[in-house]
A and B are shown apart, each in its own frame.
Chain A
Amino acid sequence: MGLKHKDLLNLSSLSADEIRLILDTSESFKEVSGREIKKVPALRGKTVVNLFFEPSTRTRTSFELAAKRLSADVINFSPTTSSITKGETLLDTARNIESMQADIIVLRHSSPGAADTLSRGVRSSVINAGDGWHEHPTQGLLDLFTIKERKPDLQRLKVAIIGDIAHSRVARSNIYALTKIGAEVRVVAPPTMIPRFLERLGVQIFFNCDEGLIDVDVIIMLRLQLERAGRALFPSIREYARLYSLTQERMKQAKSDVMVMHPGPLNRGVEIAPEVADSPAAVILDQVANGVAVRMGLMYLLSGSG
């Protein structure tokens, strides 16, 4: 069975079976990264372009490594200015890149829907590597992959996502992936960070962090955008940390074998206490490693090799 899509733009439109297919395929690629020669010829002769309009080290590097381990040629293209200031539309930029016979374009952009717009204008496969607050589908997939490694029975899990849900593409992709797969999803945040009608996505909402953590198997922390402090969303970093920071004390509410995730980069001492980030419960570095495997699996499937 293959993936019947040209692109990966979001997780909201994928079926549970398609998500499982990507995870299963990625599993076989995880082994590659442990070999002495970390390469398979699956995408030999193919070209992958990383088109990043927003600064990103970890996601871009992860895609680059994944493509290289599949033997693809990789180009990194990071326009420093937006298309507006440069006077060139996203579509024009992408068509230029397509003319260089790119097979896969990996797009990171600050505008929600940028990957959708791009996919309509080019024949290349488009992978959304984060578009505004919309989605970050490969992050959602690698998080699910990481959870499954430790806790394979996904449908029985209680997962809490803590932080600024409204402005988080990671939260959205995680909510779509986890609810589709059948996990119980809670979101924990002050009301200013919960978008309207969020409960309709099948999640439970908690304003109180301790209550939200009771009996959960997995905690996904979101990075707090510190510059939002004082500007209507929350009064101060100090108060946010006091109410929502994941501390060892707070973690006691959760199951004893709880796992803690964070998409990085961490604000230590703000949303997550250093002792928690460095504890055995934290799988933050596993997430990074799994990111490469999941992106390999995905690119393999999208290239039609599946």
Chain B
Amino acid sequence: MTLLIRGGQILDPGRYQGQGDILIENGIIQSVGQDIFKSEKDTQSLTVLDAKGLLVVPGFVDLHVHLREPGFEYKETIATGTASAVAGGFTSICCMPNTNPVNDNQAVTEFILSKAALAKKANVFPIGAITKGSEGQELAEIGELSEAGCVAISDDGRPVMNSLVMRRAMEYAQAFGMPVIDHCEDLHLAAGGCMNEGIVSTELGVPGIPGASEEVMVARNLSLAELTGAQVHLAHLSTAGSVRLTRDAKDRGIQVTAEVCPHHFSLTEEATRTFDSNTKMNPPLRTMEDIEALKQGLADGTIDAIATDHAPHAVQEKQLEFDTAPFGIVGFETALPLTLVLVQEGVLTLETAISKLTVEPARAFGLNKGTLAPGADADVALINPDAAWVVDPNKFHSKSRNTPFAGWNVRGRVIATVVGGTVVYESR
């Protein structure tokens, strides 16, 4: 099976840039460049994907997603979640273990991988739990999780509060070369909170989540990373303080990587004034000063990756009162245009923006993804960065509709997505 992606503007961050073709054989990239074929005749036996006028980039890599299966299939399944991913240009996604049962053993990991194989959309890389049941007490069988296919460990939304347990996890995970991801939230400081603690929460009388609840845990994790030498990955940074701490740690040579979500650099706490539960996520939307710091962190490399924290919830759950509705929004299908805003604003070059969605996240978790180098898996996204469209949640491929971006006029659209040499999504 041979696929030719023809005539696109290829952008493989840090490696190749220019007009050209990509030849894919048996799911592997064979060659990239101009004039792979001298004549039309040579292409007649091939499947051709026309990329004329389009940007051709490595398929996006998302380090932080929730696929909800097993246990919460009414929100999302692995089939619908991966369909949503590829519609957003994501070809490799790392799913958090907060399913039911929790992904703290190989049976769950294998179940996820088998469902992903059946869905035949995006590559799915499970993230295992740090502790059994994500209860923060006893370490999960991390070695077994690694063997079963987990690429990292995290207790995500139920962060390990006991610093000794976290220390041991960081030490132990090194035996398997796995990064330890922390959601970075002091649950005591954040208890009961529903939005950023600031002027808007004061005006609305909504319980707040202070930036400090994130920053004290970022600081703890950085100290533990220094102590243990572990590779620590900080999830969804949302405050200027977290960026400052992380920058300082990187300057001092601590092994740490960090991600930011598009909503955290696109919206502030002001969006919450309507009490729309689609503006409720954890960490919460912060302030303009935080946004500026996050953008600065992306630009100077403090923040390695853009991750969606795709968190589907059913309509009836998000219809609940603001304080009782669950945290989180879907993210795959709006990530590209929100990221391209950073290019339009001059915060990032197009190449750097794409790198934050591809090569950088792949590097953070040691995934052999996010590149168009010959020999790599043929995961490719074809995008039109200038196409204008209106976000309509009813057209999402995800099972859920919970987004604060409904009705937004955005630019940048995924035209086709290729995973392992197969076209798994096409919007034209």
Contacts and interface: CB of A to CB of B under 8 A. Distances in A.
A binds B: yes
Interface of A: 12, 82-84, 89-91, 109, 111-114, 116-117, 131-135, 169, 172, 195-198, 200-201
B198 A196 contact: yes
A157 B201 CA distance: 28
Contacts of A200: 199, 202
Name the prevailing secondary structure of the B interface residues. Answer: loop
Contacts of B201: 195-196
A166 B322 CA distance: 18
B404 to A, nearest CB: 15
Given A111-B324, A117-B322, A131-B205, 5 more contacts: A12-B203, A111-B321, A113-B322, A114-B322, A132-B205
Given A113-B275, A201-B202, A196 B320 contact: no
A179 to B, nearest CB: 12
Please indicate which of the listed interface residues B199, B202, B208, B316 has the most CB atoms of chain A within 10 Å of its own CB: B202
23 contacts: A82-B324, A83-B320, A84-B320, A84-B324, A90-B320, A91-B319, A111-B322, A112-B204, A112-B275, A112-B322, A113-B321, A117-B321, A117-B322, A131-B205, A133-B206, A134-B206, A172-B205, A195-B201, A195-B202, A195-B208, A196-B197, A197-B202, A201-B202
Please indicate which of the listed interface residues A12, A109, A132 has the most CB atoms of chain B within 10 Å of its own CB: A132
B204 A113 contact: yes
B354 to A, nearest CB: 38
B280 to A, nearest CB: 10
Interface of B: 197-199, 201-208, 210, 274-275, 316, 319-324
A169 B324 CA distance: 18
Nearest to A114: B321
A169 B205 CA distance: 7
Nearest to B320: A89
A164 B92 CA distance: 50
A51 to B, nearest CB: 13
A112 B205 contact: yes
A54 to B, nearest CB: 12
Contact of A133 (B205, B210, B316): B205
A81 B201 CA distance: 26
A83 B199 CA distance: 29
B271 to A, nearest CB: 13
B203 A111 contact: no
A134 B205 contact: yes
Nearest to A197: B199
Given A116-B275, A196-B199, A90 B321 contact: yes
Contacts of B202: 195-198, 200-201
A83 B205 CA distance: 21
